[in-house]
Chains A and B, each alone.
Chain A
Amino acid sequence: MGIPVSYYLVLSAIMFVIGILGVLLRRNALVTFMSLEMMFNAANLIFVTFAAYYRVLTGQIFVFFVMTVAAAEVAVGLALMVAIFRTKHSIDLDQMSSLKG
């Protein structure tokens, strides 16, 4: 007896929700970004699970592209954060109130 699909689905759903929580809750841009990575991973888990389930290639191809895109986003995002930190010495999102109003 193997592992039911539901296990994978629930694991990925919980990870996705924790990721959302992190994005919405935390004020530190880097921690927010880590939470985003967890959301992407949750999606990858679904793709891999169902690529194996349906025995089709598309799911695996999708994971491949998600990883590529995640790498691209990490480059841009971390560059931005480091650049902001250089000018402002903070990456607290709530302090970015020069734009509130």
Chain B
Amino acid sequence: MTIMQIIFLITASVTLFAALMVVSTRKMMHAAMWLILVLFGVTITFALLETRFFAIVQLVIYIGAIAILIIFAVMLTRRSMNADVPQVNRNWWLVMVSSLALFVGLVTVMSVWEGFFVTARTAPPGGENLVQLGTALVDPNGFVLPFEVASLVLLAAMVGAIYVAAERKEK
């Protein structure tokens, strides 16, 4: 056990505990808070891989934007969670069994791989090559098409969200 491994294990267990709490807690606001902890755990994992840029981006986009939006939505719909109503589906046992099977399947099949215990390589010292990343995004020989498509996805989402949420005029 090295110090890195210990840090990783602590982060992982906190993240997974928080993930379980998101799924199981009764209060929506608590679920949102636990979700932030999950996202933060992922940020630390990114940092352990020395992908500094993505650790920051994860922090800014997921926690700074997405989680905050979710909290807004929780507040806007806050009366929707009635603690008396059962919170789970009727066929919860089916879900449990199949998810358990999926998980056991995933892990056992993965552990067959001989590279399973190969040490993960972190990003090269100094973090990712940001210049390279930035150029690739706008390079016609790189990823300019996906980049443009992503902007189109955002445009469609914006038009759609405005349409859905705009004040409706009753006729």
Contacts and interface: CB of A to CB of B under 8 A. Distances in A.
Q: Do chains A and B touch in the complex (CB under 8 A)?
A: yes
Interface in B143-167: 143, 146, 150, 153-154, 156-158, 160-161, 164-165
Interface string B77-119: 1011100011111101001100100110011001100011111
Contact of B153 (A1, A52, A68, A89): A68
A31 B21 CA distance: 11
Contact of B66 (A2, A28, A37): A37
Contacts of B28: 28, 30-31
A99 interface: no
B65 interface: yes
Contacts of A70: 61-62, 66
B23 A48 contact: no
B117 A6 contact: yes
Contacts of B140: none
A21 B23 CA distance: 8
Majority secondary structure of chain B interface residues (helix, strand, loop or mixed): helix
Majority secondary structure of chain A interface residues (helix, strand, loop or mixed): helix
A17 B61 CA distance: 23
A34 B95 contact: no
B70 A7 contact: no
Given A3-B5, A89-B79, 13 more contacts: A1-B2, A6-B116, A8-B45, A11-B12, A21-B23, A27-B86, A53-B120, A71-B61, A76-B157, A78-B161, A79-B160, A79-B165, A83-B165
Interface of B: 2, 4-5, 8-9, 12, 15-16, 19-20, 22-23, 28, 31-32, 35, 38-39, 42, 45-46, 48-51, 53-54, 57-58, 61-62, 65-66, 69-70, 72-74, 76-77, 79-81, 85-90, 92, 95-96, 99, 102-103, 106-107, 110-111, 115-124, 128, 132-133, 136-137, 143, 146, 150, 153-154, 156-158, 160-161, 164-165
Interface of A: 1-11, 13-22, 24-28, 30-31, 33-35, 37-38, 41, 44-45, 48-49, 51-53, 55, 57, 60-61, 63-65, 67-76, 78-83, 85, 89-92, 94
